[in-house]
């Protein structure tokens, strides 16, 4: 092996692990770190990848997903890279994994206390839509001054009679910090609340790490008369496994001009199809159980 175990040098991994500990100690707080160069471009998962490489151990099993898919080009390339610099086992099975690196989705199967979910985050600052200055957003967080975000949501309701934020929905963590949950859909937001596992968020380009420890309160911003609502798929189901309780991707058939739906989480979808065919396969529980 021509690289250090896990590609990153030991001092870098030590620094990142220390910053992770600080992030876990202050849920939702963005901890600056010295983001390193990797053989992938910034903006393509370098933050999440550095967290994964810093936490890797020989007994770990790694799973990488991109918008729910294990087989996308980005997920496959990152998974192959991790395997080549560490020789750890990789898997597509959520239940078998100990470290899961994800882009824009949380798996349908509920994670356990021995698992860590690592998010790739493009823009960690949730206040960026209301304030372009980094100095000012840091002040707003320190003083817990989130009035401008509330005004932004109110103006959204005035314009559209609804809150139009589809992804990166602002959440209050541990009754203190306002946090960007990464561009996950609203469907996944409530999975962050009081979960058994640790959530880590890494933004390589912006040089920030933040975390949601297990059993931490996470609440999406909402008004008394305009409650937070997640995406609904009433009357729709996956065309492959027939599931109706998962986050569905809408797919258009160019030949027939028809649209159909399929599970965003391809691993879960494959398991359900196997079970439907009579195969004895273990499927994790639902997040609301």
State the Cα–Cα distance between residues 73 and 159, nearest whole angstrom. 38
Long-range contacts of 225-233, Cβ-Cβ distance < 8 Å, separation of 24 or more = 226/157, 226/162, 226/163, 228/163, 228/169, 228/186, 228/189, 229/186, 230/185, 230/186, 230/187, 230/189, 230/190, 231/185, 231/186, 231/187, 233/261
Task: Give 178's contacts (C-beta < 8 A, 6+ positions apart).
Answer: 28, 126, 127, 141, 146, 149, 170, 171, 172, 221
State the Cα–Cα distance between residues 126 and 124, nearest whole angstrom. 6
Burial 137-156 (b: 16+ CB within 10 A, else e): beebbeeeebeebeebbeee
Closest CA to 45 of 122, 137, 158: 122
State the Cα–Cα distance between residues 140 and 5, nearest whole angstrom. 40
Catalytic positions: 28, 238, 241, 263, 269
Other Cβ atoms within 10 Å of 17 Cβ, number: 12
Other Cβ atoms within 10 Å of 84 Cβ, number: 11
């Amino acid at each position: 092996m021509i690289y250090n175990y896990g590609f990153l040098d030991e001092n870098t991994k030590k620094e990142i692990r220390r910053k992770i500990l600080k992030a876990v100690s202050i849920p939702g707080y963005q901890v600056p770190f010295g983001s390193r160069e990797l053989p992938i471009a910034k903006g393509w998962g370098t933050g999440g990848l550095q967290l994964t490489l810093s936490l890797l151990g020989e007994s770990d099993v790694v799973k990488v997903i991109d918008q729910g898919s294990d087989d996308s080009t980005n997920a496959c390339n990152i998974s192959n890279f991790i395997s080549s610099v560490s020789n750890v086992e990789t898997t597509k099975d959520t239940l078998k994994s100990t470290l899961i690196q994800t882009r824009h989705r949380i798996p349908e199967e509920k994670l356990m206390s021995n698992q860590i979910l690592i998010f790739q985050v493009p823009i960690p600052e949730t206040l960026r839509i209301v304030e372009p200055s980094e100095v000012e957003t840091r002040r707003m967080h320190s003083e817990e001054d989130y009035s401008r975000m509330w005004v932004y949501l109110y103006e959204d309701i005035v314009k559209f009679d609804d809150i139009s934020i589809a992804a990166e929905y602002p959440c209050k963590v541990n009754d203190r910090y306002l946090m960007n949950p990464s561009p996950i859909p609203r469907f996944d937001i409530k999975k962050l609340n009081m979960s058994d596992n640790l959530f880590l968020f890494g933004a390589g380009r912006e040089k920030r790490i933040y975390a949601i420890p297990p059993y931490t309160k996470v609440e999406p911003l909402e008004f008394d008369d305009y409650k937070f609502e997640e995406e609904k798929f009433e009357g729709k189901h996956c065309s492959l496994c027939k599931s109706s309780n998962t986050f569905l991707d809408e797919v258009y058939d160019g030949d027939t001009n028809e649209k159909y739906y399929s599970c965003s989480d391809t691993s879960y979808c494959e398991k359900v199809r196997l079970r439907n065919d009579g195969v004895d396969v273990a499927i994790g529980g639902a997040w609301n159980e």
